[in-house]
Amino acid sequence: MRSKFHEELKEIKAKVARMGELARQMLKDSIKALVKQDTELAEKVVSHKGEIMNMDEEIEQRCLQAIAMYQPTAKDMRTLGVCLKLITYLNRIGRYGKDIANVAKELGGKPHITRLVSIPHMAKLVDGMIADALLAFEEEREMNAQEFTSRDDDVDALRYSIFRECFTYMIEDSRNIERCMHYALIARYLERCADHACKIAEKIIYMVTGERKEIK
C-alpha cells in the first residue's frame, strides 16, 4: 500500500511540475509576443488556457483521491497539501500570461515606446523566481526566504519605476496614453506573478521543513 501511494505521489508531483512549466512558458511566450509583436505566438498562448485549467482540475482530483485512499501523514500529507496550493498559483500565473498575450494582440503593429520601458527586464526577473521555485519543488529543497524576499522587492521597485516612466510619457504626448496604460497593467501582472512565486516558495519551505515562513 505504501509503495503504491509513493508511486502515486511521485506522479502527482511530476504533473505539478509539468503544469508549472506550462504556466512559466505561457508567461515567457506572452512577453516574447509582446516584444516581437507576434500575434500568432500571442494567440498560441491564449489557446493554452483550457489545457492549464484541465491540468488544475486533474491534479486536484488526484490529490483528493490520494488523501482519501491512503490517509497520508507528516511530510507526505504536507506534500499533497502543497500540491493543491501550487496548482492554484500556477493556474493564475498562466492566466496572467494569457492576459498579457491578449494585450500583445491588441498592440500588434503599433510601435513600442522606448523598448517597452523595463518590462522585458522585469519579466526576466519574474521568470527566474518561478524557475527557481519549481526546481526547489522538484528537488524537495528548502529555499532561502530572505533571498527570495530581496528578489521580490526588486520586482516591486521595477513596477513603480515603470508606472512613473509611463506617466511621464503620457503627460508628454496624449497619443502615448493607450500603450502606456497597457504597459502599466502588464507590470502589475508581472508583479502578481512574482507574488505567486513567493507563495510557491513559502509552501515549498513548509513542505520540506514543516515550518511556515512568510516571504514579503
Domains and CATH numbers, the chain: 2-209 (1.20.58.220)
Q: pTM here? A: 0.95
| pLDDT tens-digit map of 13-66 | 999 999 999 999 999 999 999 999 999 999 999 999 999 999 999 999 999 999
> Which is it for the CA torsion 102, 198, 89, 125, positive or negative?
positive
pLDDT of 1 reads 63
* Under-50 pLDDT residues of the chain: none
